[in-house]
Amino acid sequence: MFEYAPAPESRSVVDLKPSYGLFIGGDFVEPGDGGSFKSINPASEEVLAEVAEAGPGDVDRAVRAARRAYDEVWGPMPGRDRAKYLFRIARIIQERARELAVLESLDNGKPIRESRDVDIPLVAAHFFYYAGWADKLGHAGLGSDPRPLGVAGQVIPWNFPLLMLAWKIAPALATGNTVVLKPAETTPLTALLFAEICQQADLPPGVVNIVTGAGATGQALVEHDGVAKVAFTGSTDVGRQIARSVAGTRKRLTLELGGKAANIVFDDAPVDQAVEGIVNGIFFNQGHVCCAGSRLLVQESVYDEVLAGLKRRMAQLRVGDPLDKNTDVGAINSAAQLERIRTLTEIGSAEGAERWSPPCELPDRGFWFAPTIFTGVSQTHRIARDEIFGPVLSVLTFRTPAEAVEKANNTPYGLSAGIWTDKGSRILWMADRLRAGVVWANTFNKFDPTSPFGGFKESGYGREGGRHGLEAYLDV
């Protein structure tokens, strides 16, 4: 056991306030009918800040502010002028990247190397990318004069707090909509820093509104009559509830939900590269990734070799202080998520799968889980079916490409998949047959704002990113 002590010099780049209000109509305001909650650092359990909880009246205020901004300023504004604001926001994100990365790691628990090198650069890239579309919507293949929808109500999860915000807000603003966004209860702080960035960019008041709170706040937002478009990323269960509540209204809906991706390794794949891809696929962001490669399918003939390489590589992973640049695996985002991971892994052992983790010293405070693999997993095991959303990999085997396809598709989800092979023809053959929105070949967890992302089956509908991501926010 060792004491977790955040590196003081990196911590000091963030100017954390003791408490935060709601961001409505361009100002931080006190909640009228809600209370407050604490956002904590999952690596130390220290309280980072007290955050306002928006009640239904606050959500109503935010939607009205967004509607006013839509009618009076943002809707009528020419695309080239909207683009200037988005470019300005993108540049400020780059300028304040270090501050954003440290705050993201403090509030979420993810390693600073990931927030610094992956999350924040992608956030800026999304704003740059969609800024470029704002004055070219008539050339997006969506008709000559596509129109915005109005106020978008957006609800996001805790695994990539600022990146999910960017995926939602950048296309909505580029297409002329205004937004009310609810971040996850456990990770509200970078969304509030983003609100400050909107002020810094002189974004007209009401174009972006941030209402913090728990599930009830999200529910009040998606059920509000003034919302024309609901965009939700989160669990399949909550997605279902939202689909039910939106059914029969005029609201448009996109859902980005859970996943249980297969990462498929053939016997002609370069083993070292595949092992890196497997590790990145499941241990990136502690496995809190909707498209994580949480089911490894290995061709039987290379099973021993791949497994030995994987165990060797896992033994090198450093678990610990998210603010340490050498950390590979940070903290689990919340006590509740840790409990879910523990429960599912206990079920995995009880069902007869064999559990293995490298020797790993975990801090005594905070929420931690050692990188774990299960072998001897069968397709009926819960750990092969349920989304664990943690650093836990289930290993299965296959003999033929057809068997790999069958096993990979044997899930209610359909968000992503990975293929490792030397043969281009096999990549195309597999990609044609895999029911997954994204198929990576000889790589995994690669994201780009130009590329549409989204699921089949119970992983949701609609696409975010790329030209396709514009459609969700336009009447075409």
Which residues pair with residue 36 across a beta bridge? 52
Residues 6+ apart with CB under 8 A from 186: 39, 40, 42, 107, 108, 158, 333, 334
- Tell whether residue 367 is a contact of ligand TAP (CB under 6 A): no
Helix 79-95 / helix 120-133 crossing angle, nearest 10 deg: 170
Closest residue by beta carbon to ligand TAP: 218
Minimum Å distance from CB 248 to ligand TAP?
17
Distance CA(397)–CA(446), nearest Å, equals 24
Closest CB 222 distance from ligand TAP, rounded Å: 5
**Dihedrals φ, ψ of 225, to 5°?**
-65, -25
> Which residue, 178 or 219, is less far from ligand TAP as judged by CB?
219
Determine contact, residues 222/81, Cβ cutoff 8 Å. no
Does residue 208 touch ligand TAP according to CB under 6 A? Answer: no
Interface with ligand TAP (CB under 6 A), residue from 222, 298, 405, 417? 222
From 97, 214, 271, 317, residue interacting with ligand TAP (rule: CB under 6 A): 214
Cβ nearer to ligand TAP, comparing 178 with 285: 285
Between CA 328 and CA 159 the distance in angstroms is 16
Residue of 474, 447, 475, 465 whose CA lies nearest to 130: 465
Closest CB to ligand TAP among 394 and 421? Answer: 394
Q: Catalytic positions, please?
A: 256
Binding residues among 163-182 for ligand TAP as defined by CB under 6 A: 182
Number of residues interacting with ligand TAP: please give it, by CB under 6 A.
30
Specify whether the CB–CB gap between 381 and 411 falls below 8 A: no
State which residue, 275 or 290, has the beta carbon closest to ligand TAP. 290
Q: Based on the shown chain and the rule CB under 6 A, indicate whether residue 287 belongs to the binding site for ligand TAP.
A: no
| Distance separating alpha carbons of residues 154 and 208, to the nearest angstrom | 11
Tell me if 106 contacts ligand TAP by CB under 6 A: no
Cβ–Cβ contacts within 10 Å for residue 50, how many? 15
Of the CA atoms within 13 Å of residue 217, those in its CB half-sphere come to: 31
- Which segment (201-209, 218-226, 306-314, 315-323) binds ligand TAP by CB under 6 A? 218-226
8-state DSSP, 186: T
Answer yes or no whether residue 254 interacts with ligand TAP by CB under 6 A: no
Using CB under 6 A, pick the residue from 241, 375, 443, 451 that binds ligand TAP: 241
Instruction: Give the residue with the Cβ less far from ligand TAP, 184 or 310.
Output: 184
Phi, psi of 443 (to 5 degrees): -165, 175
Return the range that interacts with ligand TAP (CB under 6 A); candidates 10-18, 44-52, 228-236, 312-320. 228-236
* Residue 155 within binding range of ligand TAP, rule CB under 6 A: yes
Q: How far from chain centre, in Å, is Cα 56?
A: 26
Q: Does 159 bind ligand TAP (CB under 6 A)?
A: yes
CA 236 – CA 217 distance, rounded (Å) = 18
- Cβ closest to ligand TAP, residue 6 vs residue 258: 258
The region of 49-57, 73-81, 154-162, 195-203 touching ligand TAP under the rule CB under 6 A is 154-162
Q: Which stretch binds ligand TAP (CB under 6 A): 74-82, 105-113, 236-244, 360-368?
A: 236-244
CA gap 476, 473 in Å, rounded: 9
Does the protein bind ligand TAP through residue 191 (CB under 6 A)? no
- Does 258 bind ligand TAP (CB under 6 A)? Our answer is yes
Q: How many CB atoms lie within 10 A of CB 200?
A: 13
299 binds ligand TAP (CB under 6 A): no
For ligand TAP, the binding residue among 235, 409, 443, 451 (CB under 6 A) is: 235
* Residue 329 in the binding site for ligand TAP (CB under 6 A): no
Least CB distance from residue 238 to ligand TAP, whole Å? 3
Q: Decide: is 215 part of the binding site for ligand TAP (CB under 6 A).
A: yes
Residues 6+ apart with CB under 8 A from 94: 124
CB-CB contact of 291 with 415 (8 Å): yes
By CB under 6 A, what part of segment 369-428 binds ligand TAP?
387, 389, 415
Structure tokens at 301: 């003939």
How many Å apart are CA 166 and CA 143, to the nearest integer?
25
Between CA 104 and CA 110 the distance in angstroms is 7
- Region of 466 (left: φ > 0; alpha: ψ -120 to 50; beta: rest) is left
Q: Which residues pair with 461 in a beta bridge?
A: 255
Q: Which residues bind ligand TAP (CB under 6 A)?
A: 155-159, 182, 184-185, 214-215, 218-219, 222, 233-235, 238, 241-242, 256-259, 290, 387, 389, 415, 455, 459-460
